[in-house]
Amino acid sequence: MTKILEMYKCNICGNIVEVVASGYGELVCCGEPMEHLIEHTKEEEMLGEKHIPVVTKTDNGFEIKVGSIPHPMTDEHYIMFIEANSPDKRYVKRKYLYPSEEPEMNLKCACDDVVVRELCNIHGLWTTD
């Protein structure tokens, strides 16, 4: 069974899908089951880069940066998007990024908390811990 906001990737063509309505069955692309992208929550020392989103509360909402030191943003290795969700998963805000951009996002909201995740084109899906 799939759940809302889960992400899946086709390891043949590279398509990535996000579930918008829970359902039964298997997600398939290019004739093969899609890989469920698991959200990483702990840095792995061997990577060298920092992937965990750093969230800072501001007067107007939140400032979000990828990594305690900025993640590389090259054509070969970059953050594809940053996504902020309300804890109840009813509200979602996503910012798509290009390799030349800084891996950060400002979120204006009156909420008390957000769950943030980001997708690295090489190292997968990461979330706040």
- Where, residue-wise, is CATH 2.60.40.730 in the chain? 45-127
As a whole number of angstroms, the distance between CA 9 and CA 38 comes to 11
Which of 111, 58, 60 minimizes the C-alpha distance to 84? 111
pLDDT value of residue 50: 83
Helix (H) or strand (E) holding 85: strand 79-85
Residue pointed to by tokens 């990594």: 67
CATH superfamily, with its number, for domain 45-127: SOR catalytic domain (2.60.40.730)
Per the CB < 8 A criterion, the answer to whether 107 and 64 are in contact is yes
As a whole number of angstroms, the distance between CA 92 and CA 34 comes to 23
pTM of the model: 0.89
- Where, residue-wise, is CATH 2.20.28.100 in the chain? 7-37
CATH of 7-37, one of 3.60.20.10, 3.90.470.10, 2.20.28.100, 1.10.10.10: 2.20.28.100
Tens-digit pLDDT string for the chain (129 aa) = 999 999 999 999 999 999 999 999 999 999 999 999 999 988 765 456 689 999 999 999 999 999 888 899 999 999 999 999 988 888 899 999 999 999 999 999 888 899 999 999 999 999 986
Give the DSSP letter of residue 40.
Answer: B
